[in-house]
Structure 1
């Protein structure tokens, strides 16, 4: 059974697509990544940072994203010479533009019309994976622990899986129970600060951060944010951890930009280490996925803080850049089989349920 997963994360850099065969053994057949066009990326960053837009702009963005997602799916299928009719279902995460599960009127919004994707690709599309979880009192995030648990079954030793996307999330087994939650910022602040001061999208390999020094008092102030003291279930995003948040912490104090970058890297490493320690689970290794796995300075900092081997999920058979797209394909497959996913211990939802809403294509 061929399924496609389409994932665009909080880094807002582009879209990952994975083609997965859920046969006797799960196998990732092909993957594809495409950066958002500059104009689309600029619109997303402006909307997420300002948290306001004209209704017409929001409506058009929904369709612009959907057309882009369908285009990337088409490119992947063409590269593999696979007809859309051969694909059973497509899992579409969409781009999160707002996430507020703790409000009285709890809500989460992912943009990119699933109906339009289904119409353009000719593939049944499952989307809105987070909404029912929030409706059932959950955080709606992170969803990755459901698939991380699937990977952890391959490991005999106690282990954790850490996703370093725009936001970092951690998954561990505690006895028979699964624990998973967002630990705090990862690439969203590192990339944003780098873009502001170097004019490039990311600090490749952490080379710039490696030239700086940790600002101890600033790091302590950043770690004092109440989010880090909250008990799980918890989730976060750019609504909290953004450059405006950082600017407030800096309060016009004059630091070298490179030292702030090094401090942000330390913030990710130390908040992850503190989160793992708080679970009271002793692990033998931590497997890392997401874009942050390519930041060698961050990986070294994590290794120092965690005092255990920090490895790529490639050693578990899933490339670190593919995990979340494969997750979307897996959730869509689960939905097609009407299989419930139990994330009560992760998100705080009141009950297990079938994740996602099916949008039938016109074949």
Structure 2
């Protein structure tokens, strides 16, 4: 008998909503259908504006954006179901990540904020919705991120070898899988700065296959300046966001390199992402025999070539171990919703630094309650 959940995800690249319909029947994980819904350009700009570090935000603007994103998430779930013909009452729950607008987990009053009103998702779809996954982990002393390593461990682990799984979104994170409990953390920028610099010089949203970066020359002085940041010297558990590795951060780093051609800066940014990911793997998983990539960065062939050259081990898409790289995070949040409804923890203390495993998220009942 089918056990159906929906996962909804929008990441730090702020490009759109991934929606996955997942069947957990027999404790197996099967993607039934997938739907991608891009953000309208004006909404994307509003999210970027509200996500700027130290940005003053009007509560009216915040509230409207929270409601608007919640409505779009609900519409994405309905569009997904329309593709399948499966009725809403057949779905156990939706797991919604929401859209991160601020991640500042450190200190006694650390917090993280994802918007996209789950009340609206539950009302629009009629389906019980689980959301706000990260803040309970922070309340338990953790970083609230990354959360996907728990899912990576459940689906990708092979105790006979050491694997690393790298999710390359706006921020990159790694999961180290071997015969011990999984560890993982944010390595630093993934696509975020690469995309930002491309958008300053082209009309598109991202550098297709990394072609523009491949046309440039890596500047070693700039690369050293980019890598000279305290974050890379921190021991895990650690997490970060685009409010730290921001446009302002990049502007400070390149202000003495203003004579460099734009494509050389792009080439250096791509090498920077590859190096910080590779350095993390070499330091924390020196015995790794395989690295699998998911997230949007899996489509940047130039970045993958740089990673393979750094690591000198096979670097491949998670498609080779059964899950399309574009689908991993949506499936992960369906899995996290299932953990919550089954009264099971969704965090890994080795990853987030939380004092104990905790059940994540708040539950917003659907039209038929929690049945």
Q: CA deviation at 1:342?
A: 4.5
Match of 2:84 among 80, 85, 92: 80
Q: Specify the alignment match of 2:287 in structure 1.
A: 282
Q: Specify the alignment match of 1:65 in structure 2.
A: 69
Q: CA deviation at 1:244?
A: 1.0
Q: CA deviation at 1:174?
A: 5.2
Match of 1:33 among 3, 24, 36: 36
Q: CA deviation at 1:112?
A: 0.4
Q: Specify the alignment match of 1:272 in structure 2.
A: 277
Match of 1:313 among 307, 314, 318: 318
Query: Does 2:164 correspond to 1:160?
Result: yes
CA distance in 1, matches of 2:156, 2:213: 32
CA distance in 2, matches of 1:74, 1:174: 38
Match of 1:12 among 11, 14, 19: 14
Q: CA deviation at 1:177?
A: 2.1
CA distance in 1, matches of 2:20, 2:62: 27
Q: Deviations over 1:142-179 (max 9, x none)?
A: 00101111123356322110101111000013542211
CA distance in 2, matches of 1:355, 1:316: 27
| Deviant stretches of 4+, over 6 Å | none
Q: How does 1:228-307 map to 2 (within 5 A)?
A: 228-252=232-256, 253-307=258-312
Q: How does 1:130-145 map to 2 (within 5 A)?
A: 130-145=134-149
Does the CA-based 8 Å contact 2:340-2:346 persist in structure 1? no
**Structure 2 unaligned regions, length at least 5:** none
Q: CA deviation at 1:336?
A: 1.2
SS in structure 2 of the partner of residue 56 of structure 1: helix
CA distance in 1, matches of 2:148, 2:286: 19
Q: Specify the alignment match of 1:49 in structure 2.
A: 52
SS in structure 2 of the partner of residue 350 of structure 1: coil
Q: Specify the alignment match of 1:351 in structure 2.
A: 356
Q: How does 1:96-175 map to 2 (within 5 A)?
A: 96-154=100-158, 156-173=160-177, 175=179
SS in structure 2 of the partner of residue 207 of structure 1: helix
Does the CA-based 8 Å contact 1:172-1:281 persist in structure 2? no
Query: Does 2:342 correspond to 1:337?
Result: yes
Scaled by the length of structure 1, the TM-score of the pair is: 0.98
Q: Which moved more, 1:13-22 or 1:41-50?
A: 41-50
CA distance in 2, matches of 1:209, 1:6: 31
**Structure 1 unaligned regions, length at least 5:** none
Pairwise CA RMSD:
1.2
Does the CA-based 8 Å contact 2:22-2:33 persist in structure 1? yes
Does the CA-based 8 Å contact 1:189-1:242 persist in structure 2? yes
Number of equivalences: 363
Does the CA-based 8 Å contact 2:159-2:178 persist in structure 1? no
CA distance in 2, matches of 1:168, 1:124: 30
Query: Does 2:170 correspond to 1:180?
Result: no
Does the CA-based 8 Å contact 2:148-2:329 persist in structure 1? yes
Q: Deviations over 1:232-285 (max 9, x none)?
A: 000001111111111001125321110000001000110011111221441111
